[in-house]
Amino acid sequence: MDTSNSFSNVGPHISVERIISHFHRFSIEAPKELIKLLTITNGGRPVRILMSIPNHWDGTDNFVALWGIDHPDRNLSYGENLAYYRHYIDQGLLPFGAADSGSLICISTRKSDLDQIRYIDIAEAEPSEPYQKTWWLADDLAEFINSLK
C-alpha cells in the first residue's frame, strides 16, 4: 500500500505491538491491513478527500479523518471511539475514520466481506443492524486510498 503523500498531520510513529495492544484493550482483533496503514501514517488528514459512494444520495462525501493511536489531535485519535462504536464493531464493522458529514468509514471484519471498506451513514444506520445502511467503497484499504480524489 503506497500512502506516500496521502496524508497530512500524521501522528507519531507507532509500533505494531502498540497498535495491537490498543485494539486488544477493547477485545478487537485489528485487520492486518489497518495495522499496516497505522504503522505508516498513524492517523492524519487525507490529502485527497472525495469519496465515491455508489447509490447514496449524490454519490459522494469527504473523508476527513483517519484515526490514529495516541495522536495529539483528538479529532484524529481513536481515543475512546472504539468503546463508543462498540455496537458497529460487534456487527463486524470496525470504524477507522470519519467523513465530514459525521458518517463513519469502516473496515469489515466479517468473513463474508472481510477487509471491504464500508461507509456507514450514521444518520440512517440503526446500531442494531448497521449493515442495512452501509455502502461499499472498496474491496480493501489500498483500493480505498487509491480511489480518493
The 3-class SS string of 22-53 reads HHHCCCCCCCHHHHHHHHHCCCEEECCCEEEC
| Cell numbers for 16 | 505494531
36-80 pLDDT, tens digit each: 999 999 999 999 999 999 988 888 999 999 999 989 998 899 987
Give me the pLDDT at residue 132, please.
67
89-99 pLDDT, tens digit each: 998 999 999 99
Give me the pLDDT at residue 130, please.
59
| Residue 12 pLDDT > 90 | yes
Q: What are phi and psi of 107, to 5 degrees?
A: -110, 135
Q: What value does the mean pLDDT of the chain take?
A: 90
Say which amino acid occupies 122: I
Give Cα separations from 115 to 34, 81, 139, 140, 141 (angstroms): 9, 20, 7, 5, 7
Residues contacting 54, CB < 8 A, separation 6+? 135, 136
Tell me the percentage of the chain whose pLDDT exceeds 70.
92
Concatenating the DSSP letter of every residue in the chain gives ---TTTEES------HHHHHHHHHTTT----HHHHHHHHHTSSBEESS-EEE-TTSTTSEEEEEEE-BSS-SSGGGB-TTHHHHTHHHHTTTEEEEEEETTS-EEEEE-SGGGTT-EEEE-TTT--TT-GGGGEEEEESSHHHHHHH--
Segment 108-122 shows an average pLDDT of 93
| Residue 108 pLDDT > 90 | yes
| Residue 3 pLDDT > 80 | no
Tell me the percentage of the chain whose pLDDT exceeds 90.
70
Give me the pLDDT at residue 17, please.
97
Segment 25-42 shows an average pLDDT of 94
